[in-house]
């Protein structure tokens, strides 16, 4: 079996698109997000659906060719670990000056092209989202970067990670610390099912741009 073949889908993929699992001394299957734990590992596509399938259908036992202990909460455990890692990277980005806080600063970062991504607290209101969404659309229409927005955390989680209070909107900025945080946010978002509405929005903008070029 190819080392980077998902044991559920049987498809090969890049490491960032997979999660490695190993068996601990107690025969328990554990996630190896950093890919550095000893022992033979197996890979699962980095999304909750496939992790739950692997845990619920005895697929790990077949992959490791021995009896293993699989927690029924394995999918939730992976989610918590990914979230913890993402929040940790976000905190480091804040210390490096690579995070803008507040709706006004976030909108400015988007329009200037400095924003890699936008984070909205899960409690954010539609009114609070509107101007930032308009800024993201306008930036993409003007040929600037596609700035994705994610609702991955609560206001309390964002506030704790960023050392603020009532953090509802934040932008991760384009530098090394910001890109490290972006990688973690993308991984968590993918694990939770991705952002189809965001992809659809930018695809529609691209289609409109193509149609305008055809008219010209």
Question: How many residues are there in the chain?
Answer: 216
Per-residue pLDDT of the chain (216 residues; tens, 9 = 90+): 446 999 999 999 999 999 999 999 999 999 999 999 998 999 999 999 999 999 999 899 999 999 999 999 999 999 999 999 999 999 999 999 999 999 999 999 999 999 999 999 999 999 889 999 999 999 999 999 999 999 999 999 999 999 989 999 999 999 999 999 999 999 999 999 998 888 898 899 887 755 545 444
Domains in the chain, number = 2
Based on the domain organization, do 21 and 124 belong to the same domain? Answer: no
In a domain, 188, yes or no: yes
In a domain, 2, yes or no: no
In a domain, 190, yes or no: yes
Based on the domain organization, do 98 and 33 belong to the same domain? Answer: no
Residue 20 belongs to what domain range?
15-72
- How wide is the angle at C-alpha 114 spanned by C-alphas 113 and 120, nearest 5°? 100
- Name the pTM for this structure: 0.90
Residue 55 backbone dihedrals phi, psi, to 5 degrees: -75, -35
Return the closest-CA partner of residue 42 out of 23, 66, 70, 27.
Answer: 23
User: CB-based burial of residue 179 (10 Å sphere; 0-12 exposed, 13-18 middle, 19+ buried)?
Assistant: middle
Based on the domain organization, do 167 and 86 belong to the same domain? Answer: yes
């Amino acid at each position: 079996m190819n080392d980077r073949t998902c044991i559920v889908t049987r498809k090969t993929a890049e490491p960032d698109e997979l999660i490695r699992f190993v068996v601990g001394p107690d025969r328990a299957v554990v996630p190896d997000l950093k890919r550095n734990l000893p022992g033979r590992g197996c890979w699962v596509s980095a999304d909750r659906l496939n992790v739950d399938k692997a845990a619920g259908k005895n697929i790990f036992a077949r992959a490791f060719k021995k009896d293993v202990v699989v927690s029924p909460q394995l999918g939730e455990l992976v989610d918590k670990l990914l979230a913890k890692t993402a929040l940790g990277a976000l905190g480091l980005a804040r210390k490096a000056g690579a995070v803008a806080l507040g709706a006004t600063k976030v909108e400015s970062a988007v329009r200037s092209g400095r924003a890699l991504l936008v984070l909205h607290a899960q409690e954010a209101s539609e009114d609070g989202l509107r101007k930032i969404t308009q800024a993201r659309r306008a930036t993409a229409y003007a040929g600037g970067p596609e700035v994705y927005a994610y609702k991955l955390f609560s206001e309390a989680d964002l506030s704790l990670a960023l050392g603020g209070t009532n953090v509802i909107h934040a932008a991760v900025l384009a530098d090394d610390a910001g890109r490290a945080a972006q990688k973690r946010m993308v991984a968590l978002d993918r694990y939770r099912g991705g952002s189809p509405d965001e992809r659809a929005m930018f695809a529609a903008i691209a289609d409109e741009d193509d149609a305008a070029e055809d008219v010209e």
